[in-house]
């Protein structure tokens, strides 16, 4: 899609409760919230933004089961089929003895897999260059970014709403780089 | 060993043991051609069994000495042949089979057919193999301290002899007792060439008075042959006949035939031991009475007194009153038992004084034992000369009245009293010739050292027992330019070397065909009898009142180091003493009470002094069961031959040396050996013992010595560990025995049994009644399995490598103080001793296997617990999880640098490298060999085909091994014994090794362990 | 949650910090030259590390024989140190994962350091299974790699294999967890640095984090998931370590109580080590506002709890032995308490059972100095616990003839010191180059206890 005529309104806040309030109100007023930037995970913001749940837990579960399955098979195959050898008179398939390693491998697959899925999903890659919407969002400032969807977008009302939540700075940007 | 060969052999052996055929094959032929004349050699190979060597050597000439490129007939590389010969380890002359592999002997085993040893071979015999490959042996004659050759020696010595003969010089031969008729003939011929030559045969130990005593009491100065197998009641006064006395293997075999707990109908002998120190024999006695060293004659006096009353024969020498502290009623009871079984009664005495020996003869005479349990008609030939002759010779030497001395098989400077003085006289003497294979204390003072062959390179005939001729044949050509004594003598007598094989052939009767048969068998029986003499009451010496005051010295010989001649042998030095479990040292044994009285601890160095100047400094070892007045020190230590062990054992920052500050192993106790009235007095001299303040840590393979756990740590009912189970003959008589007494564990499985043993299922049973702890099996195992020697410091750190150990337990017989480690000095001092051989139990549910992460130890389908050296990463988890603690870890890279000693290695067994685990393999290589042979003969492996190294060497035949699945096999039958039990079966590991309980012939109601 | 209700009363972070000040305070530690104290400490621990390296080198060149082990005692310092360090390694994950799941917001001040500690401790622990092998150069045989030796795999029945997998997994997961938790802070640092090498390094490591709340949301989920996985993992790891002993047949080892006993012990020792280090850091790095009496209180209470569990376990062992009627087991425990190693046993008991009981008293709990000293005792006691379990069980087991004594060699002692050297060296580097306190998380809890913000 072309982004030429895209315009964004960006409000910078200093306090957790302000960004929460501003976001909530912006959504009630029907603005399109592009994103919110915060130096830490402000709880409740996901509701304010109206974001859904992620599918990561499902991935974790799948990977875990996969790892466990593979391991049980391998242990059984290598111990009882590929090279059955009498070890301390134990039965060929000592399943109880296989449990610990199976569990560890399950956790390994699930854990590492989840993180990999996360960094890929969020395109967080080593050395990836990024540009902050505004200085300080990784320090102590919060930023709310709205998209001026059409000509009917009431910029004044939006700025007033920002002001109600002690906005410290309002910036309007055109031809903003893709944010996500 | 880390010591380099003194004279590097001409480049051979390096390839060993990896390339046995090449490495040994080539040098063998090369040396054959160097060592002996081709003529001699052709003769040497004139019969079937040595044919191997002939073909091997005639096939290739010296220049192209190579591995068997073209296979000579009869030689199969990698297969071993057995040659019958006679052990030269001591004067007992046990028959043995030398296992020759690719032309070199790699293992010595008892000859099962031999009438003396019946297949047993003691630790010393086993270890004598190393003497053959000892790189410190003289490889050429020495003239005036410089290496020389035989031609020049014969010339130079010839002149000196001529001078002597013309000047009718006084010549003496001082040597070990000669047991070979041929050698005796040569020696006598040689001495006859002098106007006054004389022969004195002396042994370093205290056995010479036996013959002397019989000279007095029976008119025949000889050592009788003892038949312990015929004795129902045995009374031994300080005779360690199962350990060191005269012919231990023969006696052990005979003794054990009357100690079979599963064949009581054959009779089960009663064995009473009077002794002052704790001997191997003492540990097996049914009744053991501690006496002061000086009381031996007196005790025998009491015994004879009672016997003479039974026999209604009075001896005027017998004093009619008890001279000892020993309870006379007890001796009376013993006498009664003897009398009751007088047809099968035997009294033996190991004392060094004539009174005791003659009284012992009197006792046997009264019992009518002569001709039954001991035999003068077919006596043994260890007799030697009398102590008096010896002392006279030494006096004359001291007085400078001997011009020439020939020394053979003895190291007088070290082994006899006043050695230092003797050494000076030797230097002053016109001519001193030594036949020693080493430059030892005596030969160092000789003008000529004419090194004799090792017996495995020799030809000889031995009539150690009248009527039994055992033959010695070379198993390998001489390693160096040595020459057998008989040849040297023939040269010096006749001016030409008469090949010794011809001499032996001649003395055997000269029939070559018959000779081959004799060599094949290794011995022949002949019906030769001597005059047995008659008892002369006047010959009996009266016992004098013993002075039991103070501390009395006992000088004895150890099982491992019977004499200084073995001081070069690392296998023997590292063999734990059967009683003290100590290695690499001699020490002063004291009873716990005495040690406490003198406030001495194990390892405190004490000065054992005889008068002012004569003294020896040795560490203290607290020995339970020893008489409080006895101070026992072993002879045979402190020899220059042990100087080589300075560097033995792995080197690292906290290493401590194996040798003492003087660079020697142990201290020579002959410093406190002296003549008294013309005879060496080994025991009974009163000595003083005082601490020097120094300490010398003893290295013992066992730190805790009792079956009883320390009392303050003992849980209710858990005071005594049940791993040794004991019973009595009386208890066995009960047909219901064993039904409830010994708990049998079925070791049920908690998981499905996936591993049934359909084919073979190897197992072993060891009879604790028969095991004397003599430790022949330990050395046999070490030789068979290339077990490294690690040195004193490593043993002190409990890192000995022996795959087979013998656990020895003392249990206090005094119920008041029972419990705890007896070496703590409490209790009345009477202890019961048990020996328990302990090796890998090859558990079917082996705890070691389960825990190995890399499958380096797994189970074979024949029940063997296999250690895969190449796979082992050395986590030591298996070692920790072994309830028997029989696994051995290679803590360091143990040295195998000595090309010569490496030749003694068994090519069938891998050398283990640093960082891996090893342990008893049930001699897997022997099982394999037997299977191959059986397959070649298209028959199944039969019971008895496979004999473990330990089992083979056992004179008492205490070990049975075989297929547990074969109900007829010896091992299966042993497992059915009522006495059978398994150690730690209760933890469900299902061991393949079992034991049959220790039977003592005692009234059941005695205190002490009763698990039966 | 009750504890949280209590925590509502007083602010978690003192001194009315704003997020900006937090950033400033924490990052200040990373800027500028290291202090003299730091250099002194660093040199000291680096030389310890060097000593250990020499000892290990000598041992690998010469053989395990340079340790004091023998045919009866096949493990001693090596596995003692291993279990000790693994135990230390448990606090980090516990604090970051378990407390996270329990919404213990106070953890935010300490979890970064605790996690770092975990990683370093696991590294120390990992050394010992490696060097205790007779042939460490074949250590890779522990892994079932496709090999040219035919079907030659490994023994999945062996607790050592379980160990290998458990520790490998634990290390990987902890490292990931630690790094992911650090990404936002790395971004913070990146954004306040002037262009240069450090900035480039930071931008590389920060994965292009820009504080987008969509990312934050998934980040929180991942964090939650990892916490959820790490919690059973941390328990499984020490359970498996305890199985090294519990599955054996040696009296004193062969006991079912080990897993819970070991886990409790691990948390106990871990907490002690975290406190020891954090109290030093607090003083030297002026973090008084971030590590407060509340943290102390919470952690000492945790130690009181786990310490009491350990004490209970000691008692239970004796009861089991007595009640089992197994004579070998009974002897083993009598031997522990009264045998040749009684001194070690009673050191252990007094350090691990008596010490934590002092935490019943608020005055003790809130006195930084006393707590510091007590944690040292606990560290010592927990080392001895492992020593006692391993050595006293081995040195006198079934057959009296094979009973033996044990005493460490110089090399062994040097190796132990070396492992402390490694641990401290790494920790000192950590406090220099990584934010010791999780800014991102602390900022989230600033509000707590200030009425204004809503904690959760």
C407 band by pLDDT with thresholds 50, 70 and 90: very high
Smallest CA-to-CA distance from B592 within B822, B874, B862 is with B822
Domain range A7-53+130-174, its CATH number among 3.30.70, 3.40.1350, 3.10.450, 3.40.50 = 3.30.70
Least confident of B25-29, B111-115, B798-802, C19-23: B25-29
User: Is B853 in contact with C154 (CB distance < 8 Å)?
Assistant: yes
DSSP string, C78-131: HHHHHHHHHHHHHHHHIIIIIHHHTT-GGGGGTHHHHHHHHHHHHHHHHHHHHH
The domain segmentation of chain A, as residue ranges, is: 7-53+130-174, 56-121
Inter-chain touch B845–A88, beta carbons under 8 Å: yes
How close, in Å, is residue A61 to chain B by CA atoms? Answer: 30
Per-residue model confidence as pLDDT tens digits over B735-761: 777 665 445 555 566 777 788 888 899
Supply the pLDDT for residue B792: 93
User: Is B432 in contact with B446 (CB distance < 8 Å)?
Assistant: yes
- Average pLDDT (C72-80) is 93
Contacts of C406 in chain B (CB under 8 A): none
Chains contacting B (3 or more CB pairs within 8 Å):
A, C
Inter-chain touch A86–B847, beta carbons under 8 Å: no
pLDDT exceeds 80 at position B563: yes
Supply the pLDDT for residue C11: 64
User: Is C304 in contact with B695 (CB distance < 8 Å)?
Assistant: no
DSSP string, B583-621: ES---EEE-HHHHHHTT--TTEEEEEEETTTEEEEEEEE
Interface test with B, best of A79, A82, A86, A93 (most B CBs within 10 A): A86
Per-residue model confidence as pLDDT tens digits over B817-833: 555 554 444 456 788 89
Per-residue CA distances from C88 to C95, C269, C275 (Å) = 12, 6, 11
Which A residues in the span 120-149 are in contact with C, Cβ-Cβ below 8 Å? 121-133, 135-140
Smallest CA-to-CA distance from B83 within B41, B60, B56, B51 is with B51
B897 band by pLDDT with thresholds 50, 70 and 90: confident
User: Is C239 in contact with C167 (CB distance < 8 Å)?
Assistant: no
Inter-chain touch B654–C66, beta carbons under 8 Å: yes
User: Is B209 in contact with B347 (CB distance < 8 Å)?
Assistant: no
Alpha carbons within 13 angstroms on the beta-carbon side of residue B397 total 33
Q: Are strands A169-174 and B80-86 parallel, antiparallel or unpaired?
A: unpaired
Map out the domains of chain C with their CATH numbers: 2-137+154-292+299-445 (1.20.1630.10)
Supply the pLDDT for residue A5: 61
Chains contacting A (3 or more CB pairs within 8 Å):
B, C
Count of B-C CB contacts under 8 Å: 190
pLDDT exceeds 50 at position C453: no
User: Is C389 in contact with C55 (CB distance < 8 Å)?
Assistant: no
- The more confident residue out of A172 and B249 is B249
CB environment B534-545: b (16+ within 10 A), e (fewer): ebeeebbbebee
Contacts of A102 in chain C (CB under 8 A): none
Cα C36 to its chain centre, rounded Å, is 27
Which A residues in the span 55-94 are in contact with C, Cβ-Cβ below 8 Å? 56-57, 60, 64, 74-75, 78-79, 82-83, 87-88, 90, 94
Q: What's the burial of A134, exposed, middle or buried (CB within 10 Å: 0-12/13-18/19+)?
A: middle
Inter-chain touch C158–B850, beta carbons under 8 Å: yes
Per-residue model confidence as pLDDT tens digits over B102-138: 888 999 999 998 888 888 999 999 999 999 999 899 9
- How far is residue B44's CA from residue B474's CA, in Å, rounded to a whole number? 8
What are the tokens at C45? 């621990």
- Average pLDDT (C355-379) is 88
Query: What percent of chain B is predicted at pLDDT more than 90?
Result: 43
- Average pLDDT (C334-348) is 92
pLDDT exceeds 90 at position B582: yes
How close, in Å, is residue A160 to chain C by CA atoms? Answer: 23
Neighbours of B50 (CB within 10 A): 22
What are the tokens at B800? 């000995």
Q: Does the CB of A170 have a partner CB in chain C at under 8 Å? A: no
Inter-chain touch B859–A86, beta carbons under 8 Å: yes
Smallest CA-to-CA distance from C182 within C194, C172, C174 is with C174
Inter-chain touch C229–A105, beta carbons under 8 Å: no
User: Quick check: helix, strand or coil at residue B275?
Assistant: strand
Supply the pLDDT for residue C28: 76
- How far is residue A86's CA from residue A80's CA, in Å, rounded to a whole number? 10
Supply the pLDDT for residue C454: 40
Per-residue model confidence as pLDDT tens digits over C91-122: 778 777 877 787 777 777 778 888 888 899 99
- Packing angle of the helix pair B328-340, B354-367 (nearest 10 deg): 40
- Packing angle of the helix pair C327-338, C342-349 (nearest 10 deg): 80
- Average pLDDT (B28-43) is 42
Contacts 24+ apart (CB under 8 A), A148-157: A148/A6, A148/A7, A148/A8, A148/A9, A149/A31, A149/A32, A153/A31, A155/A9, A157/A29
Q: Closest CB to C399: pick one of B723, B874, B989.
A: B723
DSSP H or E stretch at residue B434: strand B431-434
DSSP H or E stretch at residue B173: strand B170-175
Q: What's the burial of A38, exposed, middle or buried (CB within 10 Å: 0-12/13-18/19+)?
A: buried
B927 band by pLDDT with thresholds 50, 70 and 90: very high
Q: Closest CB to A100: pick one of C162, C214, C443.
A: C162
Inter-chain touch A86–B753, beta carbons under 8 Å: no
Least confident of B171-180, C7-16, C286-295: C7-16
C61 Cβ contact partners less than 8 Å away, ≥ 6 residues apart: none
* pTM, two decimal places: 0.88
- Average pLDDT (C185-200) is 83
Inter-chain touch B850–A90, beta carbons under 8 Å: yes
Q: Closest CB to C400: pick one of B706, B715, B889.
A: B706
How close, in Å, is residue A99 to chain B by CA atoms? Answer: 15
Supply the pLDDT for residue B18: 35
User: Quick check: helix, strand or coil at residue B174?
Assistant: strand
User: Is B122 in contact with B248 (CB distance < 8 Å)?
Assistant: yes
C337: phi > 0 → left, psi -120 to 50 → alpha, else beta; which? Answer: alpha
Inter-chain touch A89–B846, beta carbons under 8 Å: yes
Per-residue model confidence as pLDDT tens digits over B412-439: 999 998 888 889 998 888 899 999 999 9
For chain A, helix (H) and strand (E) counts, in that order, are 5, 4
Per-residue model confidence as pLDDT tens digits over B455-492: 999 999 988 888 888 999 988 888 888 999 999 999 99
Per-residue model confidence as pLDDT tens digits over C282-311: 888 777 777 777 788 888 888 899 999 999
Inter-chain touch B850–A92, beta carbons under 8 Å: no
Q: Closest CB to C330: pick one of B706, B715, B892.
A: B715
- How far is residue A10's CA from residue A147's CA, in Å, rounded to a whole number? 9
How close, in Å, is residue B858 to chain A by CA atoms? Answer: 5
pLDDT exceeds 50 at position B1: no
Q: Closest CB to B849: pick one of A87, A91, A92.
A: A87
Supply the pLDDT for residue B899: 79
Supply the pLDDT for residue B827: 53
- How far is residue B816's CA from residue B125's CA, in Å, rounded to a whole number? 43
Contacts of A46 in chain C (CB under 8 A): 213, 217
Per-residue model confidence as pLDDT tens digits over B484-529: 999 999 999 988 888 888 888 888 888 888 888 888 888 888 888 8
- How far is residue B859's CA from residue C354's CA, in Å, rounded to a whole number? 48
- Average pLDDT (C346-351) is 92
Inter-chain touch C222–A118, beta carbons under 8 Å: yes
User: Quick check: helix, strand or coil at residue B624?
Assistant: coil
DSSP string, B533-579: ----GGGPPPPPPP---SEEEEEE--SS-SSGGGTT-HHHHTSPPTT
pLDDT exceeds 50 at position C214: yes
Map out the domains of chain B with their CATH numbers: 142-201+385-465+468-525 (3.40.50.740), 224-380 (3.40.228.10), 552-700 (2.40.40.20)
Dihedral angle computed from the Cα positions of residues B9, B10, B16 and B19, in that order, rounded to the nearest 10 degrees: -160
Per-residue model confidence as pLDDT tens digits over B639-698: 999 999 988 889 899 999 999 889 999 999 999 998 888 888 888 888 999 999 999 999
Inter-chain touch B858–A87, beta carbons under 8 Å: yes
- How far is residue C101's CA from residue B472's CA, in Å, rounded to a whole number? 86
Q: Closest CB to C330: pick one of B653, B718, B879.
A: B718
**Average of per-residue pLDDT values in chain B:** 84
- How far is residue B346's CA from residue B364's CA, in Å, rounded to a whole number? 6
Inter-chain touch C217–A54, beta carbons under 8 Å: yes
User: Is B448 in contact with B145 (CB distance < 8 Å)?
Assistant: no
Per-residue CA distances from B788 to B570, B575, B723, B988 (Å) = 10, 12, 29, 32
Look-up: residue for tokens 């809890």?
C445
Interface test with C, best of A38, A58, A104 (most C CBs within 10 A): A104
DSSP string, A105-167: HHHHHHHHHHHHHHHHHTT--TT-----SSTTTTTT-EEEEEE--STT--HHHHHHHHHHTT-
B571 band by pLDDT with thresholds 50, 70 and 90: very high
DSSP code, position C390: I
Least confident of A118-127, B18-27, B676-685, C394-403: B18-27
- The more confident residue out of A135 and B819 is A135
Contacts of B797 in chain C (CB under 8 A): 68, 70
C211 Cβ contact partners less than 8 Å away, ≥ 6 residues apart: A37, A38, A39, A132, A137, A138, C184, C187
Contacts of A134 in chain C (CB under 8 A): none
pLDDT exceeds 70 at position B237: yes
B783 Cβ contact partners less than 8 Å away, ≥ 6 residues apart: B107, B108, B126, B127, B129, B571, B904, B906, B949
Which A residues in the span 11-40 are in contact with C, Cβ-Cβ below 8 Å? 16-17, 35-40
B187 band by pLDDT with thresholds 50, 70 and 90: very high
User: Is B936 in contact with B950 (CB distance < 8 Å)?
Assistant: no
Q: First and final CA of chain B: distance in angstroms?
A: 46
Q: Closest CB to C156: pick one of A39, A97, A131.
A: A97
Query: What percent of chain B is predicted at pLDDT more than 70?
Result: 88
Residue A167 pairs with which residues in a beta bridge?
Answer: none
Supply the pLDDT for residue A150: 67
Inter-chain touch C328–B718, beta carbons under 8 Å: yes
C6: phi > 0 → left, psi -120 to 50 → alpha, else beta; which? Answer: alpha
Inter-chain touch C399–B702, beta carbons under 8 Å: no
- How far is residue B952's CA from residue B966's CA, in Å, rounded to a whole number? 20
Chains contacting C (3 or more CB pairs within 8 Å):
A, B
Per-residue model confidence as pLDDT tens digits over A73-132: 998 888 888 888 899 888 888 888 889 999 999 999 999 998 888 888 877 877 777 777
Look-up: residue for tokens 């020792």?
C269
Number of residues in chain A = 180
Inter-chain touch B851–C66, beta carbons under 8 Å: no
Smallest CA-to-CA distance from B559 within B115, B179, B252, B108 is with B252
């Amino acid at each position: 899609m072309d982004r030429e005529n895209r315009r964004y309104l960006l409000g910078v806040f200093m306090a957790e409760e302000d960004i929460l309030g501003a976001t909530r109100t912006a959504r009630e007023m029907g603005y399109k919230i592009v994103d919110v930037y915060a130096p830490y995970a402000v709880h409740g913001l996901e509701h304010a933004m109206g974001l859904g749940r992620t599918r990561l837990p499902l991935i974790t579960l799948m990977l875990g089961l996969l790892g466990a399955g593979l391991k049980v098979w391998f242990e059984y195959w290598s111990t009882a089929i590929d090279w059955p050898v009498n070890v301390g008179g134990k039965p060929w398939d000592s399943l109880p003895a296989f449990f610990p390693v199976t569990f560890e491998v399950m956790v390994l697959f699930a854990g590492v897999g989840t993180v990999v899925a996360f960094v890929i999903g969020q395109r967080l890659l080593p050395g990836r260059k990024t540009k902050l919407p505004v200085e300080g969002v990784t320090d102590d400032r919060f930023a709310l970014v709205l998209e001026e969807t059409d000509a009917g977008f009431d910029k004044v009302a939006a700025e007033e709403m920002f002001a109600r939540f002690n906005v410290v700075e309002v910036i309007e940007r055109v031809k903003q780089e893709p944010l996500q | 060993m880390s010591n380099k060969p003194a004279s590097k052999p001409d480049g051979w052996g390096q390839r060993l043991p990896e390339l046995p055929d090449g490495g040994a094959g080539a040098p063998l032929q090369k040396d054959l051609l160097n060592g002996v004349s081709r003529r001699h050699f052709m003769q040497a190979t004139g019969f079937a069994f040595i044919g191997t060597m002939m073909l091997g050597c005639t096939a290739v000439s010296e220049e192209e000495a190579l591995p068997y490129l073209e296979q000579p007939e009869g030689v199969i590389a990698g297969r071993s042949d057995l040659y019958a010969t006679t052990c030269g380890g001591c004067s007992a002359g046990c028959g043995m089979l030398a296992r020759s592999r690719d032309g070199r002997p790699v293992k010595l085993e008892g000859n099962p057919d031999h009438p003396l040893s019946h297949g047993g071979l003691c630790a010393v015999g086993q270890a004598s193999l190393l003497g053959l490959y000892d790189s410190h042996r003289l490889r050429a004659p020495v003239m005036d301290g410089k290496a020389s050759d035989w031609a020049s020696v014969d010339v130079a010595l010839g002149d000196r002899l001529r001078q002597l003969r013309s000047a009718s010089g006084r010549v003496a031969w001082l040597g070990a007792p000669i047991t070979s008729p041929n050698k005796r003939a040569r020696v006598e011929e040689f001495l006859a060439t002098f106007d006054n030559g004389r022969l004195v045969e002396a042994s370093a130990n205290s056995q010479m008075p036996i013959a002397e005593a019989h000279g007095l009491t029976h008119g025949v100065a000889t050592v009788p042959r003892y038949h312990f197998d015929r004795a129902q009641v045995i009374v031994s006064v300080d005779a360690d006949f199962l350990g060191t006395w005269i012919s231990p293997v023969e006696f052990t075999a005979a003794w054990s035939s009357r100690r079979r707990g599963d064949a009581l109908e054959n009779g089960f002998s009663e064995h009473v031991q009077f002794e002052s120190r704790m001997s191997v024999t003492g540990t097996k006695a049914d009744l053991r009475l501690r006496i002061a060293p000086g009381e031996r004659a007196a005790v025998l006096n009491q015994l004879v007194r009672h016997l003479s009353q039974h026999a209604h024969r009075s001896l005027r020498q017998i004093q009619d009153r008890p001279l000892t502290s020993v309870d006379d009623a007890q001796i009376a009871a013993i006498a009664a038992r003897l009398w009751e079984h007088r047809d099968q009664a035997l009294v033996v005495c190991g004392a060094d004084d004539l009174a005791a020996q003659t009284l012992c003869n009197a006792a046997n005479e009264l019992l009518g034992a002569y001709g039954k349990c001991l035999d003068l008609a077919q006596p043994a030939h260890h007799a030697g000369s009398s102590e008096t002759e010896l002392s006279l010779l030494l006096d004359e030497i001291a007085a400078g009245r001997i011009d020439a001395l020939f020394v053979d098989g003895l190291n007088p400077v070290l082994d006899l009293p006043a050695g230092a003085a003797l050494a000076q006289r030797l230097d002053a003497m016109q001519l001193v010739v030594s036949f020693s294979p080493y430059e030892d204390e005596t030969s160092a003072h000789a003008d000529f050292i004419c090194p004799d062959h090792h017996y495995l390179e020799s030809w000889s005939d031995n009539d150690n027992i009248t009527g039994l001729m055992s033959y010695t044949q070379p198993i390998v050509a001489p390693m160096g330019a040595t020459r057998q004594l008989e040849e040297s003598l023939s040269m010096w007598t006749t001016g030409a070397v008469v090949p010794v094989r011809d001499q032996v052939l001649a003395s055997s009767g000269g029939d070559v065909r018959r000779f081959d048969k004799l060599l094949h068998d290794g011995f022949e029986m002949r019906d030769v009898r001597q005059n047995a003499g008659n008892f002369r009451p006047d010959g009996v010496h009266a016992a004098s009142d013993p002075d039991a005051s103070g501390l009395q010295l006992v000088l004895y010989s150890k099982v491992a180091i019977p004499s200084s001649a073995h001081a070069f042998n690392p296998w023997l030095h590292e063999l734990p003493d059967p009683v003290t479990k100590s290695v690499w040292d001699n020490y002063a044994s004291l009873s716990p009470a005495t040690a406490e009285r003198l406030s001495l601890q194990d390892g405190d160095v004490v000065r054992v002094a005889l008068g002012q100047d004569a003294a020896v400094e040795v560490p203290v070892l607290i020995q339970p069961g020893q008489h409080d007045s006895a101070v026992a020190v072993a002879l045979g230590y402190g020899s220059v031959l042990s100087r080589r062990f300075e560097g033995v054992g792995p080197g690292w920052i906290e290493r401590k040396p194996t040798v003492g500050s003087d660079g020697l192993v142990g201290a020579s106790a002959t410093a406190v050996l002296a003549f008294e009235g013309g005879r060496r007095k080994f025991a009974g001299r009163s000595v003083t013992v005082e601490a020097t303040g120094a300490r010398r840590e003893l290295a013992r393979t066992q730190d805790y010595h009792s079956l009883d756990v320390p009392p303050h740590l003992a849980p209710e009912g858990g005071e005594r560990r049940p791993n040794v189970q004991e019973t009595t003959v009386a208890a066995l008589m009960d047909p219901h025995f064993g039904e409830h007494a010994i708990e049998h564990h079925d070791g049920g499985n908690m998981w499905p049994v996936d591993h049934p043993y359909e084919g073979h299922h190897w197992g072993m049973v060891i009879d604790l009644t028969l095991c004397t702890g003599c430790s022949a099996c330990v050395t046999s195992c070490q030789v068979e399995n290339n077990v490294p020697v690690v040195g004193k410091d490593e043993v002190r750190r409990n890192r000995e490598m022996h795959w087979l150990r013998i656990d020895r337990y003392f249990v206090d017989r005094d119920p008041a103080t029972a419990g705890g480690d007896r070496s703590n000095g409490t209790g009345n001092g009477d202890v019961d001793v048990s020996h328990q051989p302990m090796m890998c139990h090859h558990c079917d549910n082996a705890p070691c296997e389960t825990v190995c992460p890399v499958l380096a130890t797994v189970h074979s389908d024949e029940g063997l617990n296999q250690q895969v050296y190449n796979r082992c990463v050395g986590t030591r988890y298996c070692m920790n999880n072994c309830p028997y603690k029989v696994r051995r870890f290679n803590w360091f890279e143990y040295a195998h640098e000595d090309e010569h000693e490496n030749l003694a290695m068994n090519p069938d067994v891998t050398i283990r490298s640093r960082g891996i685990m090893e342990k008893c393999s049930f001699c897997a290589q022997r099982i394999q060999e037997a299977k191959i042979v059986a397959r070649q003969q298209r028959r199944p492996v039969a019971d008895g085909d496979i004999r473990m190294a330990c089992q083979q060497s056992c004179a008492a035949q205490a070990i049975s091994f075989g297929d547990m699945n074969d109900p007829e096999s010896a091992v299966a039958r042993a497992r059915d014994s009522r006495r059978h039990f398994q150690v730690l079966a209760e933890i469900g590991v299902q061991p393949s090794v079992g034991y049959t309980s220790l039977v003592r012939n005692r009234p059941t109601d005695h205190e002490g362990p009763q698990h039966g | 949650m009750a504890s949280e209700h209590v925590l509502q009363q007083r602010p978690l972070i003192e001194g009315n910090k704003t997020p900006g000040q937090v950033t400033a305070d924490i990052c200040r530690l990373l800027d500028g030259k290291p202090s003299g104290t730091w250099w002194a400490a660093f040199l000291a621990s680096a030389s310890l590390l060097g000593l250990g390296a020499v000892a290990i080198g000598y041992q690998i060149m010469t053989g395990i024989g340079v340790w004091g082990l023998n045919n009866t005692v096949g493990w001693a310092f090596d596995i003692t140190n291993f279990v000790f360090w693994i135990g230390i390694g448990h606090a980090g994950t516990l604090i970051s994962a378990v407390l996270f799941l329990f919404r213990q917001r106070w953890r935010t001040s300490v979890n970064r350091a605790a996690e770092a500690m975990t990683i370093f401790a696991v590294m120390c622990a990992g050394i010992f299974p490696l060097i205790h092998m007779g042939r460490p150069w074949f250590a890779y045989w522990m892994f079932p790699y496709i090999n040219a030796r035919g079907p030659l795999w490994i023994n999945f029945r062996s607790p050592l294999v379980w160990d290998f997998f458990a520790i490998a997994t634990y290390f990987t997961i902890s490292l990931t967890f630690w790094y992911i938790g650090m990404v936002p802070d790395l971004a913070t640092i990146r954004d306040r640095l002037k262009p240069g090498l450090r900035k480039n390094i930071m931008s590389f490591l920060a994965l292009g984090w820009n504080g987008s709340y969509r990312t934050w949301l998934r980040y929180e989920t991942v964090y939650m998931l990892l916490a959820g996985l790490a919690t059973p993992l941390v328990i499984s790891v020490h359970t498996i370590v305890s199985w090294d002993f519990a599955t054996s047949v040696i009296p004193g080892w062969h006991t079912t109580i080990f897993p819970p006993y070991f886990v409790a012990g691990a948390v106990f020792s871990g907490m002690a080590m975290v406190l020891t280090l954090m109290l030093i850091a607090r003083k030297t790095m002026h973090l008084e506002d971030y590590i407060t009496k509340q943290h102390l209180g919470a952690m000492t209470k945790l130690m009181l709890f786990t310490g009491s569990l350990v004490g209970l376990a000691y008692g239970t062992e004796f009861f089991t032995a007595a009640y089992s009627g197994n004579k070998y087991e009974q002897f083993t425990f009598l031997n522990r308490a009264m045998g040749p190693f009684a001194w070690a046993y009673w050191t252990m008991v007094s350090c691990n059972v008596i010490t934590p009981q002092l935490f019943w008293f608020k005055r003790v709990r809130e006195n930084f100095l006393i707590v510091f000293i007590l944690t040292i005792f606990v560290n010592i006691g927990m080392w001895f616990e492992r020593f006692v379990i391993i050595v006293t069980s081995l040195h006198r087991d079934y057959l009296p003839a094979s009973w033996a004594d044990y005493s460490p060699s110089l090399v062994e002692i040097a190796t132990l010191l070396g492992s402390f050297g490694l641990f401290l060296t790494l920790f000192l580097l950590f406090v220099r180059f990584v934010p010791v306190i999780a800014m991102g998380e602390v900022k989230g809890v600033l509000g707590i206890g200030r009425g204004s913000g809503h904690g959760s």
